[in-house]
Amino acid sequence: MEKIQKIKGFADLFPPDSGVFAFIEATARSVFTRYGYQELRIPILERTELFSRSIGEETDVVQKEMYTFPDRKGRSLTLRPEATAGVMRALIEENAPTTAWPNISPTGPCSATNGHRKGRMRQFHQIDVEAVGSPEPLLDAEILLMLRHYLTELGLTQLTVELNSLGCPACRPCLSRRLAGIP
């Protein structure tokens, strides 16, 4: 009889690695909670159209990287390749007004079929934050501050933040012309 082994691109986490993993997640929960983020657990399996609509039919993720298969009724299901689409589905399904939506922090496994390439895993874990319902640019700054706080609490001390922006909607056309060499 052939010995059953784990599938290539998947990992078993034994101590001490499992302890490091738990520390990373616990630190995220601790820091993100202090910034007003609440954890949301979303399913690992969703209808395929959730991702094809939100990520886009023509993206590499949808065309090449998703684990997609039919269920017994012939519906197309997909193991989540990222968390944002599932978060938005869950919030919309709750019918809450966008101003009442909390800042959300989903954490959990994701899957990609191309994970078997060197250095990539088919199952990976995502720690995410979603600030929903506010267009304020200060929110972006707060998320960057929170990220720096999180990374510092993980023990990373030699950090440099580099920002890149295409500007606001009003100044973006001028910036785009200048980048294209048009006065």
Question: Is 60 exceeded by the pLDDT of residue 56?
Answer: no
**CATH at 44:** 3.30.930.10
Q: What is the per-residue pLDDT for 96?
A: 66
Considering the domain boundaries, does residue 141 fall inside one? no
Q: Is residue 26 part of a domain?
A: yes
Please answer whether residues 19 and 131 qualify as being in contact, where contact means their C-beta atoms are separated by less than 8 angstroms. no
Task: Establish if 181 belongs to a structural domain.
Answer: no
Full domain range(s) for residue 107? 17-134
Asked if residue 115 belongs to a domain, the reply is yes
User: Alpha-carbon distance 14 to 115, whole Å?
Assistant: 20
Average predicted confidence (pLDDT) for the chain: 85
Instruction: Give the total number of structural domains in the chain.
Output: 1
**Cα-to-chain-centroid distance, residue 66:** 14
| pLDDT more than 70, % of the chain | 87
Confidence of residue 171 (pLDDT cuts 50, 70, 90): confident
Considering the domain boundaries, does residue 169 fall inside one? no
pLDDT at 12 over 80: yes
Sign of CA dihedral 58, 64, 66, 68: positive
In a domain, 148, yes or no: no
| pLDDT at residue 150 in the model | 96
Predicted TM-score (pTM) of the model is 0.78
pLDDT at site 141: 87
Say how far residue 135 (Cα) sits from the centre of its chain.
Answer: 19
**Domain presence at residue 63:** yes
Cβ atoms 160, 143 nearer than 8 A:
no
The rounded distance, in Å, linking the Cα atoms of 71 and 26 is: 35
Is 50 part of any domain?
Answer: yes
Q: Is 3 helix (H, G, I), strand (E, B) or coil?
A: coil
DSSP state string for 46-83: EEHHHHHHHH-TTSHIIIII-EEEE-TTS-EEEE-S-S
104 falls in which pLDDT band (50, 70, 90)?
Answer: confident
